[in-house]
Structure 1
Amino acid sequence: MIKNNVETTIEGNKVLYKRYFDVSRELLFEVWSMPEHLAEWWGPDGFTLTTKRMDFTNGGFWEFIMHGPDGHDYKNKIQFTNIKEPHYIYYKHLGDGEGDSDVHFESKIIFEESGEGTSLIMEQIFPSKEELERVNEKYGAIEGAKQHIGNLGKYLEKFK
């Protein structure tokens, strides 16, 4: 399935998103790793972002709040598990970081050189197929991720 130039594949408890960007791998990695860039594009349509703290190292944490267009704030906490610049960023989404969130998954963000640009491969891995289905039904996770990647694309237009 392709929407917003995002190819999406669902297999069991995993969702794979792929999109080509006409920018260097180094730039694409940078906009995924620096709070000042993330504030400009992170999240689905209509969301804004506030980073509380970010330690972009293996084992480091990123705590942030996604401000929804409905006025609701969504606290998030991520732990980076494996970073290799400019090749990939792996992390665990730990919910809201306060033990009150019901959304936990792992993500692999891979940056592959492709011709003059870079292919982004984003894999989300949920504890089970049922959990993926529940999170998608409750939060619109798959559509939100497509919009997330679409907003990244819009932001990258500023660098051309």
Structure 2
Amino acid sequence: MIAENEIYSSRILEAPVRRVYQAFAQPQHLRNWWGPEGFTNTIHEFDLRPEGKWVLTMHGPEKGNYENESVFTDVQPEKLVVWKRLSQPLFNMEVHFKKIDEENTEIAFRMIFKSVSECEKIKSFAVTKNEENFDRLEKELSFVII
């Protein structure tokens, strides 16, 4: 069940769970698909372990650089990655990796906000942008070697 202060998006991908997880765990792949269509990323720090930091700049397609800083709180390879955003907008993010079978994986994003009103500010565009994120991930998966 999805709470009113959460945004949930998921997609089933035609790729083994290990490949999908590595597309996230390897910054050289993550930078190519993270964010909405048209965005590029500069990853300054990516320490994928509890208490490790993830610092990146998302570059908008038309203008603007968006600084992002987070700290990982839970890392379960090929299952779950959780982080707490330290930059605005503030929320906790869960990325779930679920093996459907040997060649299919469900990836799910759960964005958890402190309040319903904070969630509503982001929800109007986040669902569509998360779908763009998944589209970009699908394209990047063919470049991930496992």
Shared fold (TM-score, shorter chain, > 0.5) = yes
Q: C-alpha offsets along residues 74-115 of structure 1, whole Å, 9 cap, x if unaligned?
A: 0001111000111111111221xxxxx3x0011111111102
What is residue 93 of structure 1 aligned with on the other side? 85
In structure 2, the partner of 1:130 is: 117
Call closer, same or farther: CA 1:10–1:60 in 2, change over 3 Å.
same
2:131 maps to amino acid: K
Q: Does 1:70 align with 2:62?
A: yes
Distance 2:127 2:2 in 1: 9
Correspondence 1:110 to 2:102: no
Q: Secondary structure at the match of 1:108?
A: strand
Q: Which amino acid aligns with 1:152?
A: L
Root-mean-square deviation over aligned CA pairs? 1.8
Deviation (angstroms), 1:37: 0.6
The DSSP-based 3-state class of the residue aligned with 1:57 is coil
In structure 2, which of residues 37, 40, 45 is the aligned counterpart of residue 45 of structure 1?
37
Normalising by structure 2, we get a TM-score of 0.90
Contact 2:13 2:138 in 1 (8 A): yes
- TM-score normalized with structure 1 length: 0.83
Per the alignment, in what secondary structure is the counterpart of residue 104 of structure 1? Answer: coil
Q: Which runs of 5+ in 2 are unaligned?
A: none
* d(CA) in 2 for partners of 1:141, 1:120: 16
User: C-alpha displacement at 1:117, in angstroms?
Assistant: 1.2
Number of aligned positions between the proteins = 144
Following superposition, which runs of at least 4 residues in structure 1 exceed 2 angstroms of deviation?
A: 157-160
Aligned-pair CA distance for 1:158: 4.2
Distance, in Å, in 2 between the alignment partners of 1:10 and 1:143 is: 17
Distance 2:126 2:98 in 1: 24
Q: Residue in 2 aligned with 1:151?
A: 136
Tell me how far apart the structure 2 counterparts of residues 133 and 60 of structure 1 sit (CA, whole Å). 29
Give the structure, 1 or 2, with the largest relative contact order (CA under 8 Å, sep 6 or more).
Answer: 2
**Deviation readout 1:52-72 (Å, 9 max, x if unpaired):** 111111110010000001220
Give, in angstroms, the shift of residue 10 of structure 1: 6.0
Query: C-alpha separation between the residues in 2 aligned to 1:71 and 1:142?
Result: 22
Q: CA deviation at 1:48?
A: 0.2
Are the aligned partners of 2:29 and 2:144 in contact in 1 as well (CA < 8 Å)?
Answer: no
| Contact 2:99–2:106 (Cα < 8 Å) also in 1 | yes
Structure 1: distance between partners of 2:14 and 2:6: 26
